[in-house]
Structure 1
């Protein structure tokens, strides 16, 4: 292949990419989809996807009416997250308070609480929590356990073993720090899948696909030209999420923005084959949407964004190795929160490379098969 042939190849590819970008920008529906959803999802995940329990409405049943019981209740009331909304007189009132959703938990202090404490014994304090949301119930009971432990230590006095906890990379244990940076990988992956999938299907639906085939462009040029614009759009949306995380939620970025961009570009390029494969086998955009939804939900669940991969059954952990989103989210989180370098996350690039090495030739084969 001569230099003029190479130049012509890239010149034709440039014009095809330019045509695809113009088509994306001029379509009012796509223009709305490219700008509004990622910004809206960035704010929604930042505020709504919050595992921190900011407010705990609770009720108290004090059967002891002693000084020690009163002091313990005062410690719970003084905690910033706790809001006592009811003081009950007997256990029969607990069900109504929990069933109605007025309280997350009820603290029950037994009748002989003060007497047992003064004799040096252990006095049980019962915490009845609303188990319809197990994570919130667990957090609420954990908070109360910490308050009781602190109250016990203050009453007994200092000395012995003290615990000073520190949390690396997320000092206040805020779930925003975990979720919002991860959105950079998830949003970009969604756009690559959706836009790459709809590109060829849209041409078929509008009747322009046959015109594209009679141009001097080869199948490889068409595939690359259809892949580059979604990658650019995904990168733009990922940078929008980065700005929301860094400047709105003020989540400090410990790593390099260039390393994050390099990771996202590699991830999107390696994942483009999935979207192009979907586009090659789909006859219209409705089929693309169905395929994307069927794939995206399990891939998001297996990515480790919401729940750790180590907590999944071993069979599902094996399936995560064919999910490129898992490795992209891990790399982006480590770079953003830990300050990791590209060398530190190099093992996340290997699975993404393998996935791309399989999906891109598959997309090329399906494309040639459908066009012959």
Structure 2
């Protein structure tokens, strides 16, 4: 039995590795996607265009405007010359926000009275608007505190000191790239496995495979093992690029990472073989892969927190292997999560793999009959 399975495993690996296009497809697209997505798939708000309507013209308004211009996230600060220019600036997306200084702003600041500043935001991009509002509020709060220190005024009754664990500089790549390790490893694993049986059927070699002494279980094992080998190799390659090229810290243990990636790829291979076993052509398998990938990415917690989703979607996401692996990979890389804690996160991958591999085997045996 083991000899027959080994022969099929070698045959599957050679079928992929001897094909130049397959070799390139296994290495180049994931690295290219990692490079592009790491910088493009970001929820950071940078290079914000800010308009300023200064109806005051005093020292305080000028100083605060300079602080806005000096902030790293406001790269283009320009002035408006009348209230009638506010609406076109926002409507035409020339500016994400408009700061309006009232006519008596500097006099109120000099007299110690509450001074009025109005911030108008483009609410069509609600998430960006909230983040920009936070930026502006932080600048104004810092300016207020500096005024209190300069003129020996009573400061705020309490101050908040923030400290960011596991990502002190809030580098967004430290969040994006570990998530991309899971996304791209899943994409490669699904494509390799979903095309395996479908390719045999499309090329006409499926019937030849059935007349061999191999049983359905042995054929399924021969399809699973090469996919696991290539998927794990791809996952380690992407992880190495993330650490070596993007400077993502590796604080955890390599055996814990390997065990997590193995269990994750096993569950992914289960989904891939399930897709492949119900498809007759490679085109159908590719469509089935992307049909699964898009909901899996949306329900993984990468773009939006799972806690903010409706309750029924939170329940559905429990069957998504990517949801469990992303928590583990971020914990292993950034905060040296120990194996018992990782196991609490990834144990659902085992039943997911068992169910999908069982279904794939059932459909595969059904196709043989």
Report the TM-score range of the alignment, normalised by the length of the smaller protein: over 0.9
CA RMSD of aligned residues (A): 1.7
> Per the alignment, do residues 317 and 93 of structure 1 end up closer, same or farther by CA in structure 2, a change over 3 Å counting?
same
Report the Cα distance in structure 2 between the residues aligned to 1:238 and 1:358, rounded to whole angstroms: 23
Deviation at 1:167, TM superposition (A): 0.6
SS at 1:344's partner residue?
A: helix
Deviation at 1:116, TM superposition (A): 3.0
8 Å CA contact 2:49–2:74 kept in 1: the answer is yes
Q: Which residue of 2 aligns with 1:237?
A: 234
Do residues 102 (structure 1) and 91 (structure 2) align? no
Q: Which residue of 2 aligns with 1:116?
A: 108
Deviations 1:203-228 (A, max 9, x none): 01111111111111111111111112
Q: Which residue of 2 aligns with 1:263?
A: 260
Do residues 210 (structure 1) and 207 (structure 2) align? yes
Q: Which residue of 2 aligns with 1:178?
A: 175
Map 1:1-372 → 2, pairs under 5 A: 9-157=1-149, 160-372=157-369
8 Å CA contact 2:248–2:333 kept in 1: the answer is no
> Per the alignment, do residues 124 and 313 of structure 1 end up closer, same or farther by CA in structure 2, a change over 3 Å counting?
farther
Which TM-score applies when normalising by structure 1? 0.93
Which TM-score applies when normalising by structure 2? 0.94
Report the Cα distance in structure 2 between the residues aligned to 1:168 and 1:110, rounded to whole angstroms: 40
8 Å CA contact 2:50–2:97 kept in 1: the answer is yes
Deviation at 1:95, TM superposition (A): 2.7
Report the Cα distance in structure 2 between the residues aligned to 1:141 and 1:276, rounded to whole angstroms: 48
Deviation at 1:43, TM superposition (A): 0.6
SS at 2:341's partner residue?
A: coil
8 Å CA contact 1:184–1:237 kept in 2: the answer is no
Report the Cα distance in structure 2 between the residues aligned to 1:246 and 1:64, rounded to whole angstroms: 51
